[in-house]
Structure 1
Amino acid sequence: MLSSSLHKQVFPHASSASSSTSSASSVDPHAIAISHAHLNQWQLDISNSTELPNVHLPLPPLQGPTIAHHFERLGQHYAQPTLDLIDAWLAQPGHPPLADDPATWLMLPGWTRYDPIDGSPTPVPYPDGPVVVFDVETCPKLSRYPVMATALTGSAWYAWVSPWLIRAASSSSSSDPRANSQPQPGAADLIPLGPHAQIVIGHNVSYDRACVLEEYSIRKSTRVWLDTLSLHVATNGMSSQQRPDFDKVQRVLKKAATERAKAAAAQLAPDHTTGNGLAACAKFYLGVDLEKSTRDAFVDAESADPIVADFNSLMHYCATDVLTTANVFRKVFPQFRQKCPHPVSFVGQAAMGSCFLPVNDQWPKFIAQCDERVKAMVDEIEEYLVMLAHMTVDMVIDRSAAVNLYEGEGGDENNEFPLSGYLPEGLKLRQDVLESNPWLAQLNWECKPLRITKKGLPYKNQKLPNYPDATWLGFPLIHSDRDKWGYMIVFKSGSADYIVFQRWIDQGYRFFKLPHPDGDAANAGNPFTKAFAQYFADGTLQSAHPQAKQALELQLLASYWISRATAFGLKAGRKHWGMILPQMQVMGTITRRAVENTWLTASNAKKGRLGSDVKRHVVAPPGYALVGADVDSEELWISSVMGDAQFGEHGATALGWMTLQGTKAHGTDLHSAKQFNYARIYGAGEAFATGTLRQHNRELSMEEATRKAKTLYEKTKGLKSSTLIAGDPRTPVLGCQIPNSLMRQNCGSSYLTSRINWVVQSSGVDYLHLLIVAMQYLIDTHKIDARLLITIHDEIRYMVHDEDKYRGQRPVHHAHQSHPIPAGESLDIYGLLAKGDQAMLIATKLAPITGIAQPATSPLVAAAANTDQSI
């Protein structure tokens, strides 16, 4: 805890004069007695707590009576100029009209401005205006570089055509055969938006940002990116619990024959929410049906020819998306400001929209090496599968006897005998083999054309029984259409599965589902993945063929790169240095957590995962260093503070004590029983605990695991007698409200786990936004040359100039120390958890706000882009 001296400065309004743990009102002695009894019950000896030295460090005064007022003022300082520009744009009565005739768009290289009165085109270097709605189109099969783009400002429409497309059109129309080889787009075909301050709005706008020239610079561009997809998710997004129900109803609606049936089905869908795509948002906010089939032309294009041939309609499609995005923004942004009213929430998500990752000349070599190794592995796996398929056929069919029988029935003696010809006869000869082997019997022996473009079998197929004679604990591994892979369902007489497996059921077999991390109710989609690697290693999952184990090992080794390689994004730069702009949705979940498929999920390098060392290839360019830190077990800390608030003291509960004073030696640290602790705070119940116990001890019976889980929850959570569902759930720090889809009036008591999860994770996002604002204030105040690199949930990384790298470490530490204070203060706990001598370095961030130089443009953005320093 903070020393008494520091506590008085950080919480000047608290009534305490001597204790750093006292609150504004005296703590209830009865609550303290309950707390001590609770801690003693868990054998937590409060007399052996570690005390920190009483540090005296004079601090500048707060900018207001409390630190909450301090952050309110910081948020307003950074957010208000940008919010004023948005409010002015929203106050306009409408947009410049979009021409109905697709022929309006001209195939001119670069930007063209179309006059809002007569539609006359004028070449311009980039769109002009403080607020721009923007959309980019690419041809993924050709490259990630842009093909065309449109933009809408408050005064005009703009269209951009890639110089590559012009060159490709010229080469296609040329009579010279040497000119017919179409060029490929490259870094020179990025889109310029200009050096001026700008707010850019788009749907999944990080994808569009990756195509903008000025973003590939060491110096942050004077541009704020706002994502309508993220704004939608934070206000009306759908939780993972709701999505299956929503998707099910959508399927029913498509099949419903009458309007009455559709109305009845719609009543079952989660209300006040929809999907994240632009078409879904257009329907939800605007009530219009957006035609998206035209997009297939970009997705399928393998050359410039189809784009050139249908240029006008494709450009009109792009412009229609821009207009729809602008109209969706007009609806969703005011809702977002109501849901997240604190200016820090706006500043935090806006700052995250400009993340970047510098790489050096080793990056393309790393990509090439991983791609080459994966290709070799996939080829080897497919060879194994072909060989194993032949072995499987040979287990059942005597080929020579089947061929003889086939010839006798009129087969062509001069051609190789197709499997479809002699297979039926072979099966007749070896029915005894099928009837004695459940694994073989569950295969479909009907010959059908297999659509493959090269020699081999598609190994990434959940219904493909990859490895013959595969067994689980010695029992045949089989696949059920309903319950997927397994080796416990009670078959209902007459069901499809009963009919398929009836003779095995009659022989005493029963279907047991493979274990799943989400519990017994979940189905194992594919046992030949990373999740089941441990079972292959310990012999639980086996195959009689050594090739099967080799194929699985290769598959596991290559799986990470196969699933991530396409998500590494666009790279632009000079010969030795480059920059990646991650495709990050800054509020990609209903808890407002960022979502990105590679960089936010990359774990530490592992020997058995090709490409898992991807993070080590993010390196600072010469003259710069990377500085950052993370919060240890942030969600556990948040939950412990909420529990401790019931007593008015930090460390009053067992979870709070573990966070504050837990030690590994006594088994009371944050990382002891971490999986169960996290499960409890996220609302997971006994079913999850039962599944987890059985997952880690496969010999534990269901009855024993259920008993242990029940005992665990009775002791650590107690017995639930009733549940109070708040009508207006908000985070305690920044006051963000739960999305409409999870409001009590819209979902009742359903989806409770999602609501609990929202409280914890959304509070964590509040702390991240506070941390970003605190860091920006320190950087500005102390004139540190630093730029936000990336945030990873509870981690934050900056690129700092070498001259400032040591000064840059201190703001990171100070910001991490200060940003949790508002949480305790909002819950009436006037203290700050600290470990070791970290409490000595609190809050130089509290320097007077008047020390910040007032920039000419929005405070959300840094100095003007210096293209001479582009990476």
Structure 2
Amino acid sequence: MLILGKMYKTRYFKFKNVIHRKVYTRDTLPSSTKKIYKPNPDKIAPKRKNMEGRFEKTVTGFRRNKLGIQMLSRALYDQIFPEGDNTKVNSDVIEKCIKTLEEQNMISKEDDFLQDVDIKLPKLQGKNIEEHFYNIAKEQAEPYLKLVGGLIGEIPLKPKLWVLQSGWTQYKDGEIPIKVPYPPEEALVFDVEVCMAAGKAPTLATAVSNSAWYAWVSPTLVEGTHKPVTSHSYTENILINLESTEKDSGLKISSHMAKPKVVVGHNVSYDRAKIREQYWLKSTGTKFVDTMSLHVCIGGLTSYQRAVIKSDKFNDEDDSWRSYSSLNSLVEVYKLFCGESLEKETRNLFVEGTISEIKDNFQLVMAYCANDVTATHKVLQKMFPLFRERFPHPATFSGMLEIGGAYLPVNGNWSRYVADSEQAYEDLEIEGKVILARRADQACQLSHDNMYECDLWMWDQDWDVKNIKTKKVPAKKKKQEEPPQAPTASTSEEEEPDPLREKFAPLWNTKEYLSSVKTLLPGYPNWYRKLCTKPSSGKDWVPGPHLISTSMQITPKLLNLTWEGYPLHHLREKGWGFLVPFTDDLNVTDRLPLKQLIEKCPLLSNKDGGTLDFNSQTLHSQVERHLGQKDFYSRVKKDKTQGLYKGSGVFCNTEVEDCCYFMKLPHKDGASYNVGNPLAKDFLNKFSENVLAGDTESAEKVLTIARMLSYWRNNRDRIMEQMVVWLERRGLPKNMQENSYGAILPQVVVCGTLTRRASEPTWMTASNAHRDRIGSELRAMVQAPPGYNIVGADVDSQELWIASVLGDARHARLHGATPLGWMTLSGTKSRATDMHSVTAKAVGISRDHAKVINYARIYGAGQNFAERLLKQFNPTLTQAEARSKATKMFNLTKGKRIYFIKQDYRLDFADIPYGKWQAFEIAKACGKSLSEMFHESKWVGGTESAMFNCLEEIANQDSPRTPFLNCRLSRALEPKNNGDDRFLPTRVNWVVQSGAVDFLHLMLVCMKWLMEDKVRFCLSFHDEVRYLVPEQHKYMAALSMHVTNLLTRSFCSYKLGLNDLPQSVAFFSSVEVDTVLRKESKQDCVTPSNPHGLTMGYNVPNGESLDIHQAIEKAKQENFLLYKK
């Protein structure tokens, strides 16, 4: 069925085999003759100008909007939007949208339509979808909001004397301290301290409620000793029992455990990882509130602002926002909100001291921990009311609580994974070192006849050698001393004189000339000696370059590496680069082998070009071509080579030996950065592209090994330091008691960035498994215990949809009203009509590269950043080619920024669109500011112009808010607290990214409403969400995930005034039902450390990927009806 708006009408016909061939009006007479024909598939229907009935109901029953976009089925629409669609859209606007779409061949075809979905949804908890989400979020958040609200009241004074006894001790004013099994209160401010020398296990903790103080002391501290730390695997009994007795286990959750409780701390995820009950399979009712995350929400900083605060030098103009924010540590946050300092010197005892030293200073360290608790409470008092004011929707708080309960189940395969990765790493590292040592030995032979002087890589190394050290021996008296005797092996009293012994006796005497300090490898060049270890007392020592590795500065030279065919070279001030010759005059230098360089590399024959000749007219013409002044002068500097060099190297105005340009290697962060190691992971892909190459097979092998080692080398320490807690067998079901099962609590900062995205250094940055990366199967080592599954999905094009729907709503209040909106909703990769394919085709780059640049642009990156990405993707592009492609891309997508002059100035200036620099020059000539003479600028002519206009409109408000949950921007970035537009790109990025955080919070709230306590949140990273689900509920959870996406997107559309939802984004493309935390359920995760894959190596079967229709069928098999009573 089809729900129709008031703006258009539909006629229904009883004939099944006919459709409209023309639109008839009420003026048609009853006696008129009408011919109705069956459709002719070979005939193309003519274009129709009449809008009435343009996209009416077809025989298939699909619902379309006025632009031909397929919408929700009638069955779903009536349940989600019971109020109908009262949106009024001007017909001229619709006609203009259609014209724009048709010009770009963006026409929806019924062949691309999806099968309608008909399912009975749970009844909305309100009269519309907006009220529904508010009510269910309030129901989830209200108990915890009340607890925190009560906790911000007064607390008792901290104890003056602390009792040294293991476990919990309660302190109340006027009462004797008593030992308690755990704090009985429902709201606590909590802090844990850990002796780093004793591992990651908790040493002591303090907590405070409105009525009492509590202290927990570990048995290890009472004893004053600890076992040596051999690994970071622990058992439950060394953790803090916050809500259970020692006899309780995770098999049964008591009423007290199930009751809503709240724990507040600064960076509370660190403290949560020390609590015993949080590792149980069944979760309790305790939630965690992080004051550090609240601070980031209220006053988070950009990286630039953080650098300014850390620096001693800053300008007065940078001072305007400093009163609204600070760094994230408790010391800085306490100083910001309370205006007081916090003592932190005692902290060194936990960082550098031993358990016995901490015990000796027991009163001091307990007071220190209690002071942190008091400071956290004072910060909470100031901060929480401000947070409630700036983040009014309960879904924000509820979602943050849910993310703070992240949980990763593991089993014995975790230990095997670490061991296998270490073994594979060590084996390949040894192989790589053997190859490098062989290359060093070969290069050492260049010292013969000074052959190194003709080598393009080794000519500048230290070829001086160390001779054997000798000492002077005093002359001996001839009369009194006998000639020295050579060693003898005589076995008789008298022997015959040996002429050979007498002849070589002086040679034996030369040992007296040797110095007691032996010279390491005399006769070898100094660069080689630096790679060798000194002789040891052991018998296994052999001379050789044992210290060599891919991180050493000489390694690229030993491998004869080139960039675009030019030999690599290193300068201390410029980092790594390469040499480009500009002269063939061999008399210029006597060090660099110029003759060999010219034979190998092309010569830039015209060096003496000087700077380019330009004047004001030249500068004006450049401005007219939409190049900023910064870009122009940057290009002037790079044109020193007169355009003769067209590669990707960065010209840095440096010459080597008066015969070569030194070109810096391109750094991923820009030309101002130096490359420290061309064998780092950022450059390894360039080897496969033949941009970075070696002259020998050894180079190829070493770079292949380096690529394999890169992931484990960079992540090894973080992975091996994960705190794994193994569960006691008595707390596990019978089917799990034969093997080892445990959990990792990732230390997630719920709002770790300015955009309120969660952050965590290991799990939220984990890549997918790659065949050439040791240890990259990390995510798959999170494995559900028997009887459980891991269910989750990737939100399809989350930020892209958010950005496009904002543009559609602003432009015409209609889904798919802009080219970006249409491509997001109806474009397909197979037909090359999606956003990334269209951009790639127009600009002439690959779809993958276009995808990266498209997202960067939506996040607020400018044209300069796009140029840099293009150069990274294809280093053979010249700067001019990269700029041309970037300009074309931005004109196609973002469009052009124009200004319209205000009414008061139209008598003197034409009322036409002005470019940025034109408007600036006019305002400058009139002595006015840009805002005084011109209206706010607009983007026009691009597929994304409407979207960027909407984003900038939100970002430029005095108090920017997210469009979905009305969350405020950090006070440090609000326009009313900053006098210029320095932070506009950051605010634009914030609108999209923080909108995506709203989306995530809404999803978590909806999933909790649907599944209640049948699922447990595992982890969310970027656009992925995963849950731990009992096996009997896995298909119910999969269907609930689909419905969660449907309701969340419907809410977002409703908030923008779009009372409908396109079918293409209503459900996930697939929900993964699996037993491990891999991205795709059928990914076998074959890596060098897991060569047999998950199926053969770990006996992990493939999971299932279920679309909405499959999920419905599977849920029916479980006799499940998705209906919440």
Q: TM-score range by the shorter chain?
A: 0.7 to 0.9
User: 2:666 corresponds to which residue?
Assistant: 515
8 Å Cα contact 1:786/1:801 also seen in 2: yes
8 Å Cα contact 1:633/1:670 also seen in 2: no
Q: 1:546 to 1:317 in 2, by over 3 A?
A: farther
2:329 counterpart of 1:277: yes
Structure 1 residue 219: Cα displacement: 0.8
8 Å Cα contact 1:462/1:525 also seen in 2: no
User: 2:831 corresponds to which residue?
Assistant: 666
Structure 1 residue 565: Cα displacement: 3.8
Q: 1:705 to 1:270 in 2, by over 3 A?
A: farther
**TM-score, normalising length: structure 2:** 0.64
**CA–CA separation in structure 1 for the residues paired with 2:231 and 2:362:** 17
User: 1:648 corresponds to which residue?
Assistant: 813
8 Å Cα contact 1:200/1:226 also seen in 2: yes
Residues 527-542 of structure 1 aligned to structure 2 (within 5 Å): 527-542=678-693
2:130 counterpart of 1:68: yes
Q: Secondary structure at the match of 1:116?
A: coil
Q: 1:107 to 1:459 in 2, by over 3 A?
A: farther
Q: Secondary structure at the match of 1:720?
A: strand
* Equivalent position to 1:471, from 528, 544, 562: 562
Structure 1 residue 35: Cα displacement: 1.5
User: 2:515 corresponds to which residue?
Assistant: 414
Structure 1 residue 819: Cα displacement: 0.6
Residues 260-339 of structure 1 aligned to structure 2 (within 5 Å): 267=319, 272-301=324-353, 304-339=355-390
Structure 1 residue 369: Cα displacement: 2.4
8 Å Cα contact 2:166/2:222 also seen in 1: yes
Deviations 1:274-330 (A, max 9, x none): 2222222122222223333432332334x5333334333233322222222222222
8 Å Cα contact 2:466/2:519 also seen in 1: no
Structure 1 residue 378: Cα displacement: 5.3
8 Å Cα contact 1:682/1:756 also seen in 2: yes
Aligned-pair identity in percent equals 36
User: 2:105 corresponds to which residue?
Assistant: 43
* Equivalent position to 1:240, from 298, 303, 315: 303
User: 1:861 corresponds to which residue?
Assistant: none
User: 1:707 corresponds to which residue?
Assistant: 884
Q: Secondary structure at the match of 1:511?
A: strand
2:875 counterpart of 1:698: yes
Q: 1:64 to 1:402 in 2, by over 3 A?
A: closer
8 Å Cα contact 2:399/2:1000 also seen in 1: yes
* Equivalent position to 2:968, from 721, 732, 737: 737
**CA–CA separation in structure 2 for the residues paired with 1:612 and 1:163:** 38
8 Å Cα contact 1:63/1:846 also seen in 2: no
**CA–CA separation in structure 2 for the residues paired with 1:503 and 1:651:** 52
**CA–CA separation in structure 1 for the residues paired with 2:782 and 2:971:** 39
**CA–CA separation in structure 2 for the residues paired with 1:68 and 1:846:** 24
**CA–CA separation in structure 2 for the residues paired with 1:37 and 1:409:** 99
Q: Secondary structure at the match of 2:972?
A: helix
Q: 1:503 to 1:203 in 2, by over 3 A?
A: closer
Q: Secondary structure at the match of 1:589?
A: coil
Structure 1 residue 559: Cα displacement: 3.1
Q: 1:26 to 1:413 in 2, by over 3 A?
A: same
User: 1:114 corresponds to which residue?
Assistant: 171
User: 2:277 corresponds to which residue?
Assistant: 214
2:672 counterpart of 1:615: no
8 Å Cα contact 2:437/2:548 also seen in 1: no
Structure 1 residue 190: Cα displacement: 0.6
8 Å Cα contact 2:549/2:555 also seen in 1: no
Q: Secondary structure at the match of 1:820?
A: helix
Could you say which structure has the larger radius of gyration?
2
Which amino acid letter does the alignment assign opposite residue 313 of structure 2?
A: V
Which amino acid letter does the alignment assign opposite residue 620 of structure 1?
A: A
**CA–CA separation in structure 1 for the residues paired with 2:974 and 2:463:** 69
Deviations 1:254-273 (A, max 9, x none): xxxxxxxxx85973876622
8 Å Cα contact 1:35/1:653 also seen in 2: yes
User: 1:636 corresponds to which residue?
Assistant: 800
Q: 1:184 to 1:350 in 2, by over 3 A?
A: closer
**CA–CA separation in structure 1 for the residues paired with 2:121 and 2:685:** 54
8 Å Cα contact 2:654/2:661 also seen in 1: no
* Equivalent position to 2:765, from 595, 601, 607: 601
**CA–CA separation in structure 1 for the residues paired with 2:321 and 2:871:** 34
User: 2:1020 corresponds to which residue?
Assistant: 791
* Equivalent position to 2:293, from 227, 230, 246: 230
**CA–CA separation in structure 1 for the residues paired with 2:556 and 2:345:** 36
Q: Secondary structure at the match of 2:1063?
A: coil
**CA–CA separation in structure 2 for the residues paired with 1:183 and 1:55:** 49
User: 1:676 corresponds to which residue?
Assistant: 853
User: 2:18 corresponds to which residue?
Assistant: none
Residues 849-868 of structure 1 aligned to structure 2 (within 5 Å): 851=1125
284-293 or 225-234, which moves further after superposition? 284-293
Deviations 1:708-764 (A, max 9, x none): 211211121111132652212111111111111110022331122211111111111
Q: 1:779 to 1:720 in 2, by over 3 A?
A: same
Structure 1 residue 649: Cα displacement: 1.1
8 Å Cα contact 1:483/1:523 also seen in 2: yes
Structure 1 residue 406: Cα displacement: 6.2
8 Å Cα contact 1:588/1:595 also seen in 2: yes
Which amino acid letter does the alignment assign opposite residue 168 of structure 2?
A: W
221-230 or 306-315, which moves further after superposition? 306-315
**TM-score, normalising length: structure 1:** 0.81
User: 2:607 corresponds to which residue?
Assistant: none
Deviations 1:496-533 (A, max 9, x none): xxxxx999435232232322334444443432222111
* Equivalent position to 2:157, from 48, 73, 97: 97
8 Å Cα contact 1:246/1:269 also seen in 2: no
Unaligned runs of 5+ in 1: 17-23, 173-180, 254-262, 428-439, 492-500, 852-871
Residues 532-611 of structure 1 aligned to structure 2 (within 5 Å): 532-543=683-694, 550-568=701-719, 569-572=722-725, 573-574=727-728, 575-611=739-775
Q: 1:408 to 1:183 in 2, by over 3 A?
A: closer
**CA–CA separation in structure 1 for the residues paired with 2:396 and 2:655:** 60
**CA–CA separation in structure 2 for the residues paired with 1:464 and 1:553:** 18
* Equivalent position to 1:12, from 82, 87, 104: 82
Q: 1:182 to 1:703 in 2, by over 3 A?
A: closer
**CA–CA separation in structure 1 for the residues paired with 2:149 and 2:683:** 53
Structure 1 residue 409: Cα displacement: 11
* Equivalent position to 2:409, from 358, 362, 369: 358
Q: 1:466 to 1:822 in 2, by over 3 A?
A: same
Structure 1 residue 77: Cα displacement: 1.0
Which amino acid letter does the alignment assign opposite residue 97 of structure 1?
A: L
Structure 1 residue 192: Cα displacement: 0.4
Q: More relative contact order in 1 or in 2 (CA 8 Å, sep 6+)?
A: 1
Which amino acid letter does the alignment assign opposite residue 514 of structure 2?
A: E
8 Å Cα contact 1:145/1:211 also seen in 2: yes
Q: 1:464 to 1:42 in 2, by over 3 A?
A: farther
Deviations 1:508-563 (A, max 9, x none): 32232322334444443432222111223344334567666555444432332343
Structure 1 residue 445: Cα displacement: 10
Structure 1 residue 470: Cα displacement: 4.0
User: 2:393 corresponds to which residue?
Assistant: 342
**CA–CA separation in structure 1 for the residues paired with 2:888 and 2:235:** 62
670-679 or 590-599, which moves further after superposition? 670-679
Which amino acid letter does the alignment assign opposite residue 541 of structure 1?
A: L
**CA–CA separation in structure 1 for the residues paired with 2:227 and 2:112:** 76
User: 1:856 corresponds to which residue?
Assistant: none
277-286 or 402-411, which moves further after superposition? 402-411
Q: Secondary structure at the match of 2:179?
A: strand
**CA–CA separation in structure 1 for the residues paired with 2:862 and 2:290:** 35
Q: 1:726 to 1:393 in 2, by over 3 A?
A: farther
Which amino acid letter does the alignment assign opposite residue 665 of structure 1?
A: S
